[in-house]
Chains A and B, each alone.
Chain A
Amino acid sequence: MRYLCLIYDAESKWTTMTPAETGAFMGEYGAFTENVKASGHYIGGNPLKPTSTATTVRVRSGKISTTDGPFAETKEQLGGYYLIEAKDLNDAIQVAARIPSARIGSIEVRPIMEMPHP
């Protein structure tokens, strides 16, 4: 099954970390990504730019409206994702628990709804 692991943590933490700490954390992410590629779990994944760069788009009565900022203001923000292939939810939980941000933020694990291919 495919699962999307959504990484939520406080963006503000990046402003309080020293360059050395940031480097170490990014290093952990690099190692994790290599690890899940080697284990065959990895399908894709990316970090996102901060929510200050987000634009929320809606179409109402045929008109596009855009607002600055994310869909919802929350204490932890969506900061990136991994798309993984896992045997089942237990396997996916084991992978999600190894994402470095799981220790400071939270990972939401969502199964992908498989659509029939034409």
Chain B
Amino acid sequence: MVNDATAVEARARAQIDELYRSESRRVLATLIRLLGDFDVAEEALHDAFAAAVERWPSEGPPQHPRAWLISTGRFKAIDRFRRQARFDASFAAVADRWEAAMPGSAFDSEAIEDDRLRLIFTCCHPALAADARIALTLREVCGLQTEEIARAFLVPAPTLAQRIVRAKDKIRAAGIPYQVPEMGDLPERLDTVLHVIYLVFNEGYAASSGASLTRHDLSTEAIRLARLVVELLAEPEAIGLLALMLLHDARRDARSDADGHIVLLDDQDRTRWNRAQIAEGQLLVEQALASRRFGPYTIQAAIAAVHAEAADPGATDWSQIVGLYDVLLRIDASPVIELNRAAAIAMRDGPEAGLALINAILARGDLVDYRLAHSARADLHRRLGEHAAAIAAYERALALTRQEPERQFIEQRLHQLRTSPRCPMPPA
């Protein structure tokens, strides 16, 4: 009998742990709406799960665990404030307000789904500092611990904790509403949300060295976030961003060798690309393009899809890629996109054509301190067999790079150039 009881208890605990993983963010999102404050809602969330741990093993789990957790959390918060009211009367007024403000629709599944969107849009509100949006989103929407986020972004935990505290203070003090933006504001506000997701992804994706395990998790987290946004709000650019990240992330394993060294797109073992993820990304790109309301993320995803279609580098459809960069430049002109277009032109029309475009960008004074502009130039000179010019450009890139794997890559190229015979190599 004792063993049976223990087994029941263990099962209940396992169920609660699982529920915490799958439901705690939803429950939190709804508690913030009902209680009007992030910190109070977080406390209520923990009280609710503590109550579940205490009661479910003996009483059995409720029929609707999510609703149970929400209403238990809400009652715990009211209770807490009633007790505080003995010392400070203002708490009583707050507790009264919470008790009164309980619309019949509070537990509608639709309202609860909307709460997750409310939470995302509030955490990514443009009135919050850009780095605080990222920290708050990872903390509240993804449920990452402050220490985990700090480690992934290479900042001290107290600094990150401070960012989150400041952001919550501003939400409270400046009256940032817990709302999904109205239709008129939606495109602009969605841009901010997608940008947060994109930055989280890049933070994880740009780091490719062995010591970056926690940072890879950021890419996974960004993809999960984008899936959530797409599920709740099927906007073409959200779909495009999800596709873009899936297609890039599909190459993750092939992007570095066993020692953590960079492997360029041309040299990657394409059998190591994640085909299932590529197929999903391609489908999403088509879906976003078909909407005819797509933007820069969708076009970048389309470019990534063209790369993914090629069984080997030689089979890449560079004309199509140049065409997509032309479209991208029309809707989102920037020197970095011009640089990428120049690299595609070099592949389609030869290194001289690409070099002329890159030199024109630099001559204008753009990208002069951008390491990738110099490494792209270096590569084109190298392919033309112009070793001295290639070495000079790689040296400039080396001086500007801060990433260890990138530094090693450039040094290896420099070593090859300095030791190889000075005869022109045929263009690759």
Please pick, from A1, A90, A93, A109, the residue contacting B179 in the complex, using a CB distance under 8 A. Answer: A90
Complex contacts, B177 vs chain A, CB 8 Å: 87-90
A98 to B111, CA, bound (A): 32
Q: Which one of A89, A93, A111 has the greatest number of beta carbons of chain B within 10 Å? A: A89
Q: Which residues of B contact A (CB under 8 A)?
A: 125, 127, 173-177, 179, 181, 185
Q: Which residues of A (56-114) have their CB < 8 Å from a CB of B?
A: 86-90, 92-93, 109, 111
Residue count of chain A within 8 Å CB distance of chain B: 11
A111 to B181, CA, bound (A): 20
Complex contacts, B173 vs chain A, CB 8 Å: 111
A22 to B364, CA, bound (A): 38
Interchain Cβ contacts under 8 Å between A and B, 19 examples:
A1-B175, A3-B175, A86-B175, A87-B177, A88-B175, A88-B176, A88-B177, A88-B179, A89-B125, A89-B127, A89-B174, A89-B175, A89-B176, A90-B176, A90-B179, A92-B175, A109-B174, A111-B173, A111-B174
Residue of A nearest to B127 (CB): A89
Complex contacts, A92 vs chain B, CB 8 Å: 175
Complex contacts, A88 vs chain B, CB 8 Å: 175-177, 179
Q: Which residues of A contact B (CB under 8 A)?
A: 1, 3, 86-90, 92-93, 109, 111
> Shortest beta-carbon distance, A43 to chain B, in Å?
15
Complex contacts, B175 vs chain A, CB 8 Å: 1, 3, 86, 88-89, 92, 111
A74 to B71, CA, bound (A): 52
Closest 5 CB pairs of A and B: A88-B177, A88-B175, A1-B175, A89-B175, A89-B176
Complex contacts, B179 vs chain A, CB 8 Å: 88, 90
Residue of B nearest to A91 (CB): B177
> Shortest beta-carbon distance, A111 to chain B, in Å?
5
> Shortest beta-carbon distance, B168 to chain A, in Å?
14
| Contact across chains for A90 and B185 when beta carbons are under 8 A apart | yes
Residue of A nearest to B179 (CB): A90
Q: Which one of B174, B175, B176, B177 has the greatest number of beta carbons of chain A within 10 Å? A: B175
Residue of B nearest to A86 (CB): B175
Residue of A nearest to B184 (CB): A94
> Shortest beta-carbon distance, B176 to chain A, in Å?
5
